[in-house]
Every structure is written in C-alpha cells, then in structure tokens.
Structure 1
C-alpha cells in the first residue's frame, strides 16, 4: 500500500510542496545546459527550499516546452529525470519528494520514482478524457495502477489532477468536478489536485469546498496560490506552489528565497 498522505506529511497544518522546474532537458527545443548543470541548479533550488522550511518537493520538466504527448516521451527525458531525482534524493534522504513528467508521462514518472526512491508522483489524466495542449489525453488509472503493482512500487503515492489546467473539458462537460473527484477516489487515487485554468491561475474556492464534501481523500491546490490568498483555501490539505516562489511571481523566473520564507511564515501562523 502507498504511504498515506498524513504519514508522509505529518505536520498538523496545511502542507506546502514546492516545485523544482528543471531547465530544459537534453533533446528539447530550449535545452542549453548539460544534464550535470541542470541537476546542479535543481539541487541548489532544493537547498533553498529546505532552508525555508518547505514540507516537500516535486521535480518537474516544466521548461521542456512544447511538451510531447505521453506516448512520445523519449528515453532521454526519463533518464535525465532519473539523474536529477537521484541527485536531489541523495541530498535529502528523508524529505518527501515527488516527480511529474510532462505531458501525462505517468508511467515514466512512476518508474523514475521507483528507481530513485521518491515518495509520490503527480499524475495527469487519471480519470476521464480531456483535450490538452498536446492533444487528446485518455484516462490511465487502470493501466497505471497495474504498472505500479508490476514494478512493486505500491508504496509510491499517486496524486492526481482532476479537471486539470491547460485543458478543455467539453467532452466531459456533463460530469461535474465533484463527480470527477468521486471517480478518481473510486479508481484508487491517493490524493486529488485542483487547479485554475493555467499555470499561476487560482483554483475555484467553491470547487474546493464541493470536492472536500464528496471525497475522503486529501485535496491539494495545485496552482495560483499566493501569500495573499492562501487563507481562502483553509479547507485544503496542502498546496503545491511554483510560480509564486519565483521572482515577480512568474514560473519562468529564478527562485526567490524571500518569497518562500514570507509564504511559509504566513501558513505557519
């Protein structure tokens, strides 16, 4: 069985998970750095987060735009993610660490997590199909959980986006977010993630309340959280924060320690 969310994050307050947005990996259009340089930057950011009292981290290939559909992810991406995840894990052997591989490469993320002893993955397209930037994304819960069983990785939690950002949901417009959440719970998700319509955009507070009333899973907010609105989401079990922790609050900027510390001071009150 996967490690429960409260076992993984035992603090008695809303959990804060910081994003490490890796520089563009080898083979992608914006790649300008070696994998060693990319890993060095990631480890530096992990240290900045750790010194600010963060609860956990997710390592993600955010700069690999434009993203490939999950069926076309190359082995160089999976290998590069494994290298960086291993290096960060070696620095922080007990910190809760997760990985996401864009776009929708959930099996690859699970393989990386297994190989590098991470604790969880963030998965897209777990239940119900949607149209993403990269094209049609079909649900993967059945395949993904069977793969997790096959590689003996059931201790790794799968936190799942529902009605995710950067996507059109017209083909499931008759399925509410509460019904989607229930579907993810029924299909054995370990936790749910709510987002706004795009990176850095706020999630709907009323949707959070609705989802929390329908499921017994932990529910995290996965975009748009800032020092100024975090208290609006007091019902959430945790926050995944990337953009706000960067200079000027933009995901493409450098990590800003002062912004992290101010945010952590706010949620620790």
Structure 2
C-alpha cells in the first residue's frame, strides 16, 4: 500500500501534484524491486476524508500519482483506493491508468464512521464498471470495515460476507482490525474465509512479520502498509530494507 502524502486541495497539502507523483514513484520502485505482486495507490494523507465523492482536484492528483506508479513499476498489478469511499472516482481512475482492481471500503450495507454514515453503492458501482467497459477491474471490498461500526444492530458476519460476494459481486474480500495498522481477530478471519467460499480473502490491516505464519493458515494473502514504514507508523515513505524483509517472510509463510 502506497500511502500518498496530502494531495492538492487537502488541508495539510504542501506538495504539488508533480511532487506527490515523484513520491509515489519512489515507493513503487522499492516495492517492485522487492517483488511485490500488487501496489495500491491510496490518498492516505487527505484527512479528514469525505464520506463519499471527492473533489475533482483529488481525482486529478491521484491520476497523476497512479500514472507515475505504473511507469515506475510496470510489471506490478495496480490498484486504486479513493478514501473514504469514492468507488466512482476509483473506477474512473483505474479505467484510465490501466489498474486491475479498486478497493471499496463500504461496498454493501451502511456503517457509522468518523465521516458520518457511509453507505455502500454496489448497484451504482457495478453499473458504472459495466458502462466504462471495465469489467476486468476487480472490486476488493472490506467486510466489517475498520474505523467504523454497524448502522443499527450488527448482522451475522457470515451473512455480511455472503451479501458482499453474492449480491454485491465483490471479487475479493478484505478483513481488517479495528483501525489502521491494527491486527485482525484470527477467529473472525477464519469465519470470513469459510463464508467467502471461492472468493480470495486478504488480511488488510495489521500484518506483521510475526503474524504472517498464523495469517497464512486462514488467508490467501495480505495488504500491507504500516509494517513497511519505520516504527510501524502509517504514512510516510516506504523503507526499502523493511519492504524486502517483509516480502521474503511473506513468501516463506505463504509458500510462494
């Protein structure tokens, strides 16, 4: 996961889109050299996030960064995540830059978050994907998404996973802890894996060197961000040594 710096138009922005793109390219080169399978470009620095649609300046800046990543790491699969939950922007960027998947934090259902109520728009997202001719862009969707709680009474986790994959047509299911960098509950992960049937399940927060062997028993892979930064602190540039060490440990744990 490339945690982009605050982009043009966001409250803490200090870099131009060109400078942010150089940042992204630098991280991408490190990941490519370490042999990572996929790279996700995410506007991590744009807090506080919009609950839904982001402004055009964010889409423009993220497109510039995604193109820089594509050039720096042409052999890595590219993904887009527009925080907090702008699937329309993510799909639009993906279709223009040749990305192969988008992450959607709330694809089905509704959650109470620090941005307010975030509601899934699977119907609109899937129809847009069809209209763009982007059926080859997979949807990676979170279940019981971090930094949120259910709107109303919690539903059985198994039912949430089934709705996400069958009714919401998500191709990949992401499992997280309670927040960025927080580890997953292994029993929850195992339950999601069982309910997801043939859909791949990835751990999407809190993966560490020490937890990889355990996670490999219940997941098909991991999305890693914080563990690639010094001190495990999210944001900032990726550390090359940590990235190489994590990649080697992952291949050992997941037998790849």
Check whether the contact 2:5–2:236 (CA below 8 A) recurs between aligned residues: no
* Residue correspondence of structure 1 range 176-195 to structure 2 within 5 A: 176-187=156-167, 188-195=169-176
Tell me whether 1:241 sits opposite 2:224 in the alignment.
Answer: yes
Instruction: Tell me the CA shift for residue 172 of structure 1.
Output: 4.2
- Partners in 1 of 2:148 and 2:210 — Cα distance? 26
State TM-score, norm by structure 1.
0.90
Structure 1 residues 195 and 167, CA gap change in structure 2 (3 angstroms)? same
Tell me whether 1:22 sits opposite 2:15 in the alignment.
Answer: no
1:83 is paired with a residue whose SS is: helix
Aligned to 2:186: 205
Aligned to 2:144: 163
- Partners in 2 of 1:124 and 1:211 — Cα distance? 16
Aligned to 1:55: 37
Structure 1 residues 241 and 263, CA gap change in structure 2 (3 angstroms)? same
Instruction: Tell me the CA shift for residue 93 of structure 1.
Output: 2.8
* Residue correspondence of structure 1 range 222-237 to structure 2 within 5 A: 222-234=204-216, 235-237=218-220
Q: Which runs of 4+ in 1 moved over 4 A?
A: none
State TM-score, norm by structure 2.
0.94
Match for residue 76 of structure 2 among 95, 99, 117: 95
Higher relative contact order at CA 8 Å, sep ≥6: structure 1 or structure 2?
A: 1
Q: How many residues align?
A: 249
Aligned to 2:16: 34
- Partners in 1 of 2:195 and 2:27 — Cα distance? 36
1:171 is paired with a residue whose SS is: coil
Alpha-carbon RMSD across the aligned residues, in angstroms, is 1.1
* Residue correspondence of structure 1 range 53-132 to structure 2 within 5 A: 53-71=35-53, 73-132=54-113
Any gaps of 5 or more consecutive residues in structure 1? 1-18
Aligned to 1:259: 242
- Partners in 2 of 1:130 and 1:261 — Cα distance? 36
Instruction: Tell me the CA shift for residue 170 of structure 1.
Output: 5.0
- Partners in 2 of 1:63 and 1:122 — Cα distance? 17
- Partners in 2 of 1:57 and 1:253 — Cα distance? 16
